[in-house]
Structure 1
């Protein structure tokens, strides 16, 4: 009996070897085909109609010939690819959200799309705290100064940061990442508020939920973004919202670049209304070389690396393997972007 083909297409972070190893005994069920894209040696980019992708449509078209199931990371699944991947039934993305997939087209073609939420929750939460502390204490700038031969220990009352122990931190969005950030901040002694109309806050949660965004902004010394990107969250932290923050506040964004108005942040940093800001994500990536943000000493940047830990890669492939197992056993997926497909698709037997 001919085995079904399964493509594992990884990269320099989540390798095909790691994907394959996570499958355990399932490897005996398939003929495994391996491929790789250049991420993150080459940054991800928009490919055709999908975002944050790596490789090419041509590579995917070739690799998917005769393939029934694919486990991928940043590889693009565009309409053009799907038109030529006639046998594809299931595409599992080792990411918190399948933005490198055309979900609408996948639904039209009857391809179920699974993903791996919370795989990098701890990594992103820890990076959020790292950026926050760096912004509060100017760690990157003073490190760079020492390397230039300057001993810049000349902090004044106006230039000194503040402690988290007595701060109020507001989280916009409260999912898996926000929960971990809140628990870490509790350890510092901070008071943590959250604004998320969809969150169900229980007695054991380390946050105080507020019903209005304005209340969170007016009470917070720090605001950290953790919302999903939707029509209602785009620019949720804009000029009007930043103006409501306490003078000398700090903002951090390790979620999505579209959640924050970076022009408004720049103006607030220049005026002194914001003490500092930090971000791992931007509306345009890579950040353009002429961006005025590069000239601001109180703006801390990292290049979309918050989720980049070994544990995040391992978790992603393990969740992907669990999804595949569930699909094969009973035709279900725990994390499916288009569950309507499962009701109409013939499951591999």
Structure 2
């Protein structure tokens, strides 16, 4: 279902033209230090100040991500909730659905088709891990140049995983503008809403009450920043940081931070790490998502110093096998069911 192309806004386009004439700053932000320390990537500053940031659909090379959850709960919280902190490793495969939504464009080899922010591509995903009792769970995958889904609108404010698929897609993939972006540019990311809006009205005495009626009870969207543009093994890598807060004082409220690497040439997530601070309860949620397949735009396709990809071959093949195009997707959108 393609929508008309949406022209870039004039201020953004003008900014991109000006920035393209200047090289990117040489200083390295924390997100790059994280990439070097954790993955051993050899990132060199690109000779450009702009990059086209948009998601692209998976090609015939099905993408596989490792999802690692490493939450930290205080003992008092464990006793009260009667649940331990989650420590898990799961796998998520993203690919085309050749049965339900045959592509109108050739799949071929990457790069995949460029999507506008309003153009929706439908595929399939396959997920398995401890939260599914190691059973494979398949759903419809929705992708535009800006967003990926299905994604939970309130994953950023909850102290534990509810839907492992929707939480991973909401927390791991930042919203991209779907256009040229200049180094240092900021933009509004995905909305955080639903049950998260309740935390915007929490006071020291609790939630709600007549004295709180003046509050809008609406939380901010994710705030995204392009921290730098780099090159690695001949590919352009965009380094992003993200921030979200419920608006409460830091010592009482909930706030989240994310650092991400996006392969701009392949239009896919390379790796991201998210930390959510629930300071009222002393809970810290940690989520890490890594592209572990051998497709373009993955960690094994870079100078990744780790040898973990070889040990994950069984899980990677299993995740891909679950996307057998001869099987229809288990989940359908409301539009498909009702249409």
Is this a same-fold pair by TM over 0.5?
A: no
Higher RCO (C-alpha 8 Å, min separation 6): 2
More helix by share: 1
Q: Which has the larger radius of gyration?
A: 1
More strand by share: 2
The TM-score, its normalising length taken from structure 2, stands at 0.26
TM-score normalized with structure 1 length: 0.25
